[in-house]
């Protein structure tokens, strides 16, 4: 409290001492005088009486002045104490008002961060759901690719080759596996970030809840006054708690919570952007690889169609050659039979002429001609038989070639059925767009 002016101090005067001297008589002593001495010795003198009265008056006046001065001091002290208490209460109320303003500021900032962090967590959860849907959407393409590879394993030799289609399918399978692993890692990262967001949100909510409770307490305290009926005496409340914080540490805690929330929001926003890029890039890579596989299938099917068409054309020629060769063999056999008939005639003639009697058994011109005819016919028959054997071998070769062509045509037809009907037909179940599928 400020020092108040003290009232002037009146110096005190000592009271006169009590004098009890006996007044001596001027008259000669007598026995009567001795008898009256007791009455005279116990009495004051008149000056003493006046001094005594004056002392009593002065003492009463002094006490009265002291009491009046005490009352004035008490009145001033009461007035000063009342004014000081009023000023202290008003100052405390003003300080509480400032404190309420600080608490309200941090409370609103924390509430804003809580709402923004909650909204950011919901957005990140939606992106995580997109990742899960995109991961689920990759199951069908992967199953389609594996089914294509398994179907193409059922191709028959010599079409069971590692062609461009198989290389593209293996590349697509590896791409889908890599994308699935990337999506799984991103889902784990999103889950961790969501957990961090919620932990930071709980910290902010705890701080916000404490500030709301404190705001109500301080607002209640600011509403107290001397006329309040719910105030009581609490002498032990004056001491400071050992665990009490300082204004700096109090503000630093809220600042750290808000700063942590801002960092988590920034990390969450960056992760959402990364998730969008991952899904978009994965969709684009799958689209390009799907187009490459389809192009390889189309090109390979065109090659199969051309090879099958050429084989069918060769087969038609082979069938025609087989027919011609069969007709040739029939002609050769007929020619052999005809020549054998001529040979039999010539041989019969020679045989019959060998029975000519005596000198008639002559080597005449007819004999030489018959012998020459037999020799010529034998040569022709031998040549025809060799040609028949060659024609039969050619027919056998043509038949084998026909069977090979028919087998090759069947193999090409099987390969075309596998690639065009099974594989490309199965790829129609391929999702149109992975990015679109992530929103469904």
Which burial class, exposed, middle or buried, applies to 286 when counting CB atoms under 10 A from its CB (0-12, 13-18, 19+)? buried
Give the residue with greater pLDDT, 300 vs 438: 300
| CA diameter of the chain | 260
pLDDT of residue 367: 85
The DSSP annotation for 347-365 comes to HHHHHHHTT--GGG----H
58 contacts 12 by C-beta, under 8 angstroms: no
Q: For residue 84, count CB atoms less than 10 angstroms from its CB and return exposed for 0-12, middle for 13-18, buried for 19 or more.
A: middle
Cα(146)–Cα(406) distance, rounded to whole angstroms? 30
Report how far residue 78's alpha carbon sits from residue 270's, in angstroms, rounded to the nearest whole number: 67
Token output for 163: 């062609």
| Higher per-residue pLDDT: 262 or 17 | 262
- Residue 432 is predicted with a pLDDT of 60
| Domain residue ranges in the chain | 307-355+362-439
> DSSP string spanning 238-269?
GSPPTTPPPHHHHHHHHHHHHHHHHHHHHHHH
List, for residues 47-100, the tens digit of each pLDDT value.
888 888 888 888 888 888 888 888 888 888 888 888 888 888 888 889 989 989
Rounded to whole angstroms, how far apart are CA atoms 225 and 219? 12
Task: Give this prediction's pTM.
Answer: 0.71
How far is residue 86's CA from residue 77's CA, in Å, rounded to a whole number?
Answer: 14
User: Mean pLDDT of all residues in the chain?
Assistant: 85
Of 55-59, 182-186, 237-241, minimum mean pLDDT range: 237-241
Which range among 102-106, 234-238, 424-428 shows the weakest confidence by mean pLDDT?
234-238
> Distance (Å, rounded) from C-alpha 424 to C-alpha 294?
8
pLDDT value at residue 85:
83
Mean predicted confidence (pLDDT) in 346-355: 87
Kindly state the average pLDDT of the residues 151-166.
90
- Using the predicted structure, report yes or no on whether residue 120 has a pLDDT greater than 80: yes
d(CA 320, CA 432) in angstroms, rounded, equals 50
What is the C-alpha radius of gyration for the chain, rounded to an integer number of angstroms? 67
């Amino acid at each position: 409290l400020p020092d108040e002016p003290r009232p002037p101090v009146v110096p005190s005067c000592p009271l006169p001492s009590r004098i009890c001297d006996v007044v001596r008589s001027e008259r000669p002593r007598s026995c009567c005088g001795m008898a009256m001495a007791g009455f005279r010795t116990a009495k004051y003198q008149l000056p003493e009486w006046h001094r005594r009265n004056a002392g009593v008056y002065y003492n009463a006046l002094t006490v009265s002045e002291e009491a009046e001065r005490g009352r004035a001091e008490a009145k001033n002290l009461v007035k000063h104490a009342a004014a000081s208490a009023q000023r202290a209460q008003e100052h405390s109320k003003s300080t509480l008002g400032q404190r309420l303003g600080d608490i309200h500021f941090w409370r609103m900032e924390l509430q804003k961060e809580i709402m923004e962090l909650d909204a950011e967590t919901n957005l990140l959860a939606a992106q995580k759901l997109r990742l899960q849907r995109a991961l689920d959407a990759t199951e069908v393409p992967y199953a389609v690719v594996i089914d294509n590879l398994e179907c193409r394993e059922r191709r028959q030799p010599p079409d069971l080759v590692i062609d461009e289609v198989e290389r593209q399918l293996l590349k697509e399978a590896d791409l889908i596996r890599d994308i699935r692993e990337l999506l799984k890692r991103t889902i784990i990262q999103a889950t961790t970030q969501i957990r961090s967001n919620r932990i930071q949100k709980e910290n902010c909510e705890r701080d916000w809840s404490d500030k709301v409770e404190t705001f109500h307490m301080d607002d209640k305290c600011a509403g107290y006054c001397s006329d309040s009926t719910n105030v009581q005496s609490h002498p032990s409340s004056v001491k400071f708690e050992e665990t009490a914080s300082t204004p700096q540490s109090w503000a630093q805690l809220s600042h750290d919570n808000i700063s942590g929330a801002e960092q988590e929001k920034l990390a969450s926003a960056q992760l959402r952007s990364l998730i969008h890029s991952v899904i978009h890039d994965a969709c684009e890579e799958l689209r390009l690889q799907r187009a490459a596989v389809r192009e390889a299938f189309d090109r390979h099917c065109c090659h199969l169609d051309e090879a099958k068409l050429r084989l069918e054309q060769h087969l038609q020629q082979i069938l025609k050659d087989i027919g011609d060769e069969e007709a040739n063999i029939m002609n050769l056999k007929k020619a052999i039979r005809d020549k054998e008939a001529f040979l039999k005639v010539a041989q019969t003639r020679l045989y019959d002429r060998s029975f000519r009697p005596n000198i008639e058994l002559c080597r005449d011109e007819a004999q030489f001609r018959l012998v020459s005819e037999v020799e010529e016919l034998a040569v022709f028959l031998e040549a025809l038989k060799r040609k028949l054997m060659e024609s039969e071998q050619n027919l056998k070769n043509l038949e084998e070639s026909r069977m090979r062509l028919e087998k090759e045509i069947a193999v090409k037809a099987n390969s075309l059925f596998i690639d065009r009907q099974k594989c490309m037909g199965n790829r129609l179940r391929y999702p149109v767009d992975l990015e679109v599928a992530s929103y469904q």
